[in-house]
Amino acid sequence: MKHEAVRYVGLHEVADNAELRKWLASDGHALGDPAKLPWCGDFVQTAMKNGLPLEPIPKEPFWALNWRKFGVPSDPVFGAVASVSRSGGGGHVGFLVGQDATRYYILGGNQANRTSVAPMDKSRFPKEAFRFPATYRPIVNYLPTMTSAEASNITES
């Protein structure tokens, strides 16, 4: 799932619209035009369905906070699905890939209008924010420490 998502880091919702739309629809379901709609939930769903096709997806996966009902509760470990509430309502969801002293680094879509790794304050994440697929166990049970520069250089290796 995370490896599926990493392949698309850097795609911009306008400049790379056709490629992004094609990938978001590759799992058989897509929200629509990412240049017009919030698509972080679509990004996570597509990565999950393409990476772990047998994993049950939450109802209405395009709504970011519904990912708090996904899989099983998790500690903040590498690859966990992480969701945060937005102060004006709604939320955001992505994959947890690292941390520093005060922030988590989230691999996700619709982050500055593109797929990227973005830092978010740890204080925004309640315990129920972290979930892991029920059909898959983490390869690593920790969360790497990284810098902003390292996070911005994540690509498929």
Type of residue numbered 69: K
Beta bridge partners of 121: 103
Looking at residue 104, its pLDDT comes to 97
Looking at residue 156, its pLDDT comes to 44
By percentage, how much of the chain surpasses pLDDT 70? 96
141 in a domain, yes or no?
no
Q: Residue 70 has which token pair? A: 């996904």
Asked if residues 154 and 97 have their Cβ atoms less than 8 Å apart, the reply is: yes
For Cα atoms 118, 130, 52, give the angle at the middle one, nearest 5 degrees.
90
pLDDT in tens, 32-64: 999 999 999 999 999 999 999 999 999 999 999
18 in a domain, yes or no?
yes
Looking at residue 89, its pLDDT comes to 82
SS (H, E, C) 86-153: CCCCCEEEEEEEEECCCEEEEEEEEECCEEEEEEEEHHHCCHHHEEECCCCCCCCCCCCECCHHHHHC
Q: How far apart are CA 110 and CA 119, in angstroms?
A: 13
103 in a domain, yes or no?
yes
Looking at residue 57, its pLDDT comes to 96
Per-residue pLDDT of the chain (157 residues; tens, 9 = 90+): 557 788 889 999 999 999 999 999 999 988 999 999 999 999 999 999 999 999 999 999 999 999 999 999 999 999 999 999 988 888 999 999 999 999 999 999 999 999 999 999 999 999 999 999 999 876 767 898 888 888 877 754 3
123 in a domain, yes or no?
yes
Identify the CATH number of the domain in which residue 46 sits: 3.90.1720
Range of the domain at 94: 2-134
139 in a domain, yes or no?
no
Looking at residue 61, its pLDDT comes to 96
45 in a domain, yes or no?
yes
157 in a domain, yes or no?
no
148 in a domain, yes or no?
no
Short-list 81, 15, 14, CA closest to 48: 81
Q: How far apart are CA 129 and CA 124, in angstroms?
A: 9
Q: How far apart are CA 78 and CA 110, in angstroms?
A: 20
Q: What is the total count of domains within the chain?
A: 1
Looking at residue 6, its pLDDT comes to 85
